[in-house]
Amino acid sequence: VNATGTGQADILIDGETIAAVLAPGSTLLGHDLASSVDTVVDAAGKYVIPGGIDAHTHMQMPFGGTEASDTFETGTRAAAIGGTTSIVDFIVQYPDQNVLDQYHAWHEKAAGNCAIDYGFHQILSDVQDSSLTAMDELVAEGVTSFKLFMAYKGVFLSDDGQILRAFQRGAENGAVMMMHAENGAMIDVLVKQALDAGHTSPYWHGMTRPWQAEEEATHRAIMIADLTGAPLYVVHVSAKQAVDQIAAARDRGMNVFGETCPQYLYLSLEEQLGASSDEWGDFEGAKWVCSTPLRSRAEGHQHHMWQSLRTNDIQMVSTDHCPFCMKGQKDLGLGDFSKIPNGIGSVEHRVDLMYQGVVTGKISLPRWVELISTTPARMFGLYGRKGVIQPGADGDVVVYDPNGHTSIGVNKTHHMNMDYSAWEGFEIDGHVDTVISRGRVIVDDGGYRGRAGDGQFLKRGLSQYLI
């Protein structure tokens, strides 16, 4: 299965790359294929897809008074088990930090530890002259996308003038500008008012980050992109009104793109409101505190989001994998929802969760591959090497069994370093059987067969998705 369609074929991998995609029954110099090769993976009756690419992860990111609980080692191993063979993780520049120092620090964290290939985006939280110069240097190093924030004052927030300057630079050097689009000033007031009124439970995280804050910021980011000519990629879109802003910009011919995440397709604010357990009481809802927040199902956001995947108003699905444990991390926000570290861990489940959209008739099989692999590759300058099964591409291939089954949960198939699962109880009518990364089987029936350090840094090119 490629994004362009499906067919029957034998795939020959030689060393690290795909050598040929052959009609079934083809011979090699007169010999049948199976007897001419070292290893045969029998995929009869199963789907063979290009390895998943999760273009939005935060491994061991210092954030919210703690650090995301998956290391590059544990997080990429979980990704591999779930059928993802590449990630693009975020280097963080906090205020007063030097961008290039951070770039080198992230290389040190990742090098030798990853199960799968990895690239980087760069977060800019301090747009000053040296940061702008560093953008050009990073593009040359294969870090060709930069994320800015319209929320998180004192942590990530840039003002509109700083965003304008960074976008101007992106327009010059060809980078994709990524935006966390929420109006932080409005949110900060709503959070204070809620806490002053004694509303402390996790549900109020979502209540104080309304869709208006997302729609407004999305629109503002689009206007800054329009003014500067920079390509804009809006991360973790959750509000249907934000989708409509992106769709309108695309209709006008702009290079504006949107990413959503499984949590915005499946989970809702109402479910967070109803969450309760013996152990945590209504603090149970902290398991689903992320930003942008889960949205109201009654308002129809989830339905609209699935629809946008069909119409290509939203182009791809990443996880925003940002895991925290309940004990010792999420519980920093007991009695004050604003202190709950923001994030959900899903890197292991994205391929499965999106396949369930095929099972339920929401997306087609090729569209599944496009959303989880091909468009991420094109968007972030990896296509040809990644995101497609064709001669010359890396041998990143997943055998997916539509007759298999996957039960998701912390004590079931979960390999992420978290003491809970945001996806407890989800059942998938399919299963990741075999994962091949650059020609090596790293996951099969017996489990994980790879090693930390198998994954290499991906020096990315410019986006191949621009008009």
Q: Which of 18, 93, 80, 73 is nearest to 54 (CA)?
A: 80
Residue 370's binding partner among ligand DUC, Zn ion, none (Cβ under 5 to 8 angstroms by kind) is none
Piece of the chain touching Zn ion by CB under 5 A; list 61-69, 212-220, 312-320, 365-373: 312-320
Is 58 a binding residue for ligand DUC by CB under 6 A? The answer is yes
Q: How far apart are CA 82 and CA 413, in angstroms?
A: 9
Among the listed ranges 175-183, 255-263, 301-309, 388-396, the one in contact with Zn ion (CB under 5 A) is 175-183
Q: Which one of ligand DUC, Zn ion, none interacts with residue 290, CB within 5 to 8 A by kind?
A: ligand DUC
Q: How far apart are CA 74 and CA 145, in angstroms?
A: 25
Among Zn ion, ligand DUC, none, the one that 343 touches (CB under a kind-dependent 5 to 8 A) is ligand DUC
Q: How far is the CB of 449 from ligand DUC (least distance, A)?
A: 31
Contact string (CB under 5 A) for Zn ion, positions 323-362, x = contact: ----------------------------------------
Q: Count CB-CB contacts under 10 A for residue 195.
A: 16
Rule CB under 6 A: say whether 262 interacts with ligand DUC: no
3-state secondary structure of 1: coil
| Alpha carbon distance 90, 143 (integer Å) | 10
Query: What does 321 bind: ligand DUC, Zn ion, none (CB cut-off 5 to 8 Å by kind)?
Result: none
CA geometry: angle at 140 spanning 136 and 143, to 5°? 85
> Measured from the CB atom, is 18 or 150 closer to ligand DUC?
150
- Which positions from 154 through 213 interact with ligand DUC, judged by CB under 6 A? 180
Picked from Zn ion, ligand DUC, none, the partner binding residue 342 (CB below 5 to 8 A depending on kind) is ligand DUC
Which residue's CB is nearer to ligand DUC, number 263 or number 434? 263
- Say how far apart CA 185 and CA 178 lie, in whole Å: 20
Task: Annotate each residue in 304-323 with x if it binds ligand DUC (CB under 6 A) or - if it does not, as one string.
Answer: ----------------x-x-
Structure-block tokens of residue 158: 């840039």
How many C-beta atoms lie closer than 10 Å to residue 35's C-beta? 9
Report the residue number, 162 or 291, with the smaller CB distance to ligand DUC: 291
Residue 225 DSSP SS3: helix
Q: According to CB under 6 A, which residues from 61 to 80 bind ligand DUC?
A: 63
User: Is 291 one of the binding residues for ligand DUC (CB under 6 A)?
Assistant: yes
List, in order, residues 6 or more apart from 400 with CB less than 8 Å away.
46, 47, 48, 49, 83, 351, 355, 430, 431, 432, 433
The helix, strand and coil proportions of the chain, stated in percent and rounded to the nearest 5, come to 35, 20, 45
Torsions phi, psi for 180 (to 5 deg): -85, 100
Interacting residue ranges for ligand DUC, rule: CB under 6 A: 58, 63, 180, 290-291, 320, 322, 342-343
Interacting residue ranges for Zn ion, rule: CB under 5 A: 180, 320
